[in-house]
Amino acid sequence: MNSGPYIHSGSTTRALMVQAIAALAPVLAAAIWSYGSHALVLIVSAVVAACAADALCDRRRALDSSAVLAGVIFACLLPGNAPWWIAALGGVIAITLGKHWYGGLGRNPFNPAALACVLLMGLFPLQFFAPRWTVDGVTSATLLAKEIDSVAPAVADLLFSRHAGTLGEAMPLAILIGGIVLLALKTIDWRIPLCYLATLSLLALLLPPGDRMTGHAPWLAGNPLAHLLGGGSLFAAFFMLTDPVTSPFSPGGRVAYAILAALVTMLIRFYTPYPDGVVYAVLLANASVPLIDRYANRLLQNAMIRDRKRPAEEQQESMTGGELPG
């Protein structure tokens, strides 16, 4: 039998990944529209490197679409001006360390693209945390950067992302289109994006701003729209947190998982110098999945035990002349 993951819904792993790649098409088109041919170079570099690493790591199996998907998602996490070799290196890391290090497809505890991104952030911080990027000939900081001259963007700028950022942030409207496609096809569980984005909005209203946000970008506090449409919030909600391998199995567990990811995201945004904490939040939420699944299984087992005891107790009560309702 081939390796997992196994989903008992009539869908195959390959079909689910092809659907995810197809849903990413609007995001990739928006990235190429915003950043030009260099975005295409980054996407191709990441995908080719990921596929090559997959072929070298497991020569016994034919290539599957997981390498393509991991490469595409990693490319979407890159700044628009990243060099091509960062994309290629990230594609290799996502497959070798994120997938095959743990035994192959279906066994990885962490999202491969997020893992590769965090590792490369540590190795090459200037490639990811440059204070200013040039987009369409205009030099500006990323939307969530807490810089001295930060200004609140218009709603149209938020929807069409007329600001610097990653390829995945090129146009939030494109991410919404892809996410709706995944929801319509039932490729992903609606609970995860809904709970994640709803918790982000609530925390944006309730959390007191940190000193850096108060001094440099006070408009980010109490502004749910900026946190929903800015940074990697939408991309993570629809394309990263919903990975069936690295998310909980139970519906209730997925709700807790999404809330935890949102909490980590907002704590990083409000109280650290980092402009966005999405990839860190994804990895920390992934790490919590075994505990969430264990607790959910325990609750399920307790419920099943109670259900078994109830008929026996009712039968014993009727045999001993217990009071009948009425």
* Residue 263 vs residue 155, higher pLDDT: 263
* 139 pLDDT more than 60: no
- Give the Cβ contact number of residue 107 at 10 Å: 14
CB atoms near residue 38 (< 10 Å)? 16
Residue 314 has pLDDT above 70, yes or no: no
For the segment 291-316, the average pLDDT, to the nearest whole number, is 73
Other C-beta atoms within 10 Å of 99: how many? 27
In this predicted structure, the answer to whether residue 190 has a pLDDT above a threshold of 90 is yes
Whether 279 and 117 have beta carbons less than 8 Å apart is answered as yes
User: What phi and psi values does residue 253 have, to the nearest 5 degrees?
Assistant: -65, -35
Q: How many CB atoms lie within 10 A of CB 273?
A: 11
| Average pLDDT taken over every residue of the chain | 84
Residue 132 has pLDDT above 50, yes or no: no
**Predicted local distance difference test score (pLDDT) of residue 52:** 93
Q: Which of 225, 227, 199 is nearest to 213 (CA)?
A: 227
Q: Give the separation between CA 66 and CA 54, rounded to whole angstroms.
A: 9
Average pLDDT over residues 14-23: 90
Mean pLDDT computed over 214-227? 83
Higher pLDDT, 156 or 37: 37
pLDDT computed for residue 185 by the predictor: 93
- Cα–Cα distances in angstroms (integers) from residue 225 to residues 114, 153, 200, 203, in the given order: 24, 10, 10, 12
Within 10 Å of residue 76's Cβ, how many Cβ atoms? 27
- Mean pLDDT, rounded, for 103-111: 89
Q: Which residue has the higher pLDDT, 137 or 205?
A: 205
> Which domains are delineated in the chain?
13-310 (1.10.3430)
Element (H, E) at 134: strand 133-135
What number is the average pLDDT over the span 261-268? 96
Which residues share a beta bridge with 138?
135
**Structure-block tokens of residue 214:** 């108060």
The whole-number average pLDDT for the span 53-75 is 85
Task: Choose the most confident range, by mean pLDDT, from 45-49, 133-137, 268-272.
Answer: 45-49
CA distances from 305 to 300, 301, 315 (A): 9, 6, 16
CB count in 10 Å sphere of residue 195:
22
Pick the residue with more confidence: 95 or 218?
Answer: 95
Q: What is the mean pLDDT of residues 136-152?
A: 60
